[in-house]
Amino acid sequence: MKTEQALIWNDVDLEKRLPNFSTLASAGRGTYSRRVNKLEVPRDGDIFTSAYLSSNQIGVAFLLVANTRQKLNEDLDKLKVLLQGEEVPFKFSDEPLYTRYGTVTGFEIQDEDTLTCTGRIIIDMSDPYKYSGIKRLETANGRLQVAGIGNSVAIKPEVVSLVTTTKGKPMLRFGKDYVIEFDISYPAGEKIIIDLKENSITRGGINEYHHLTLKSNIGDLRLQNDMECFSDTIDVFAILYRERVI
């Protein structure tokens, strides 16, 4: 029987792949900690300089049952093979919309001499966030307002795409602080892909990164609700992003 918080590792539902495996509980999904950098000074207290989220660790308790010792050993071996990999996507069935990334760094077994074996899978997450699936904002009139971002922290888009027009050099503004601007005009109908995850800008497979002006600060862009995105020289553009939640 599928449990409420079944572990899905690298797109494999472990309870479906191993029918005798059950996820009992998990710990650490809702916790976080920060590392704080401070300067000691000759006065009361310290000077705060910066703070960052620390990596996270999740423990997953499981149950594995079998009719024979041989079957139990076979299923344990299969489970260990399925859990291999580094920075592997995983999720829990009670959070189907969010994916985490981690590496199994520990595998503990209790009750090894019985046919009802309990254990614990230890997952280290160097990235402490969980991510939604890809979401899309788009417009065909040169203007849109960011909306629908839920409990996420400020979001860096993954991809911005735009279609050139005859109105002039492509320029796209995000609120008051961010701009994408090119130093040349293009024929109408050309699609430019700005991939912020891979740090590339292409048009039909051709690198266009060198045509960004010095005004462009797209690398610092963060989306938030109610942000106005607009252009006088572009009609069609789209933004792809994933929400990230602690």
Among the residue ranges 22-26, 29-33, 87-91, 108-112, the one predicted with the least confidence is: 108-112
Token duo for residue 189: 């109908």
Mean predicted lDDT score pLDDT of the chain = 92
Is the pLDDT confidence value at 238 over 70? yes
What DSSP letter does each residue of 168-202 carry, written as one string?
SS-EEEETTTEEEEBSS---TT-EEEEETTTTEEE
Query: Residue 132's pLDDT is what?
Result: 92
Average pLDDT over residues 37-59: 91
Q: Reply yes or no on whether the pLDDT at 136 is more than 80.
A: yes
Kindly provide the b/e burial profile for residues 9-47, where b requires at least 16 CB atoms within 10 angstroms of the residue's own CB.
Answer: beeeebbeebebbbbeebeebeeeeeeeeeeeeeeeeee
Laid out side by side, the sheet with 228-230 consists of: 143-145, 228-230, 171-174, 178-181
Domains of the chain: 7-129 (2.40.30.200), 135-245 (2.60.120.860)
Question: How many Cα atoms occupy the beta-carbon half-sphere of 48 within 13 Å?
Answer: 6
Q: Give yes or no for a contact between 183 and 144, defined as CB atoms under 8 angstroms apart.
A: no
Q: What is the pLDDT of residue 1?
A: 57
* Coil/strand/helix, residue 224: coil
CB distance 69 to 44 below 8 Å: no
Q: Which of 4, 20, 8, 2 is nearest to 119 (CA)?
A: 20
Least confident of 24-28, 55-59, 80-84, 218-222: 218-222
pLDDT of residue 43: 86
| Alpha carbon of residue 26 to chain centroid | 20
Give the pLDDT mean for 221-235.
Answer: 91
Token output for 37: 């950098």
Candidates 226, 228, 230; CA nearest to 142 is 230
Alpha helices in the chain (DSSP H): 14-17, 69-82
CB 121 within 8 A of CB 83: yes
Residue range 35-56: average pLDDT? Answer: 90
**Residue 155 pLDDT class (50, 70, 90 cuts):** confident
What's the mean pLDDT in 121-137? 94
Alpha carbons 11 and 6: distance in angstroms, whole number: 12
Q: Please say if the pLDDT value at position 216 is more than 90.
A: no
> What is the model's pTM?
0.83
Contact 154, 222 (CB under 8 A): yes
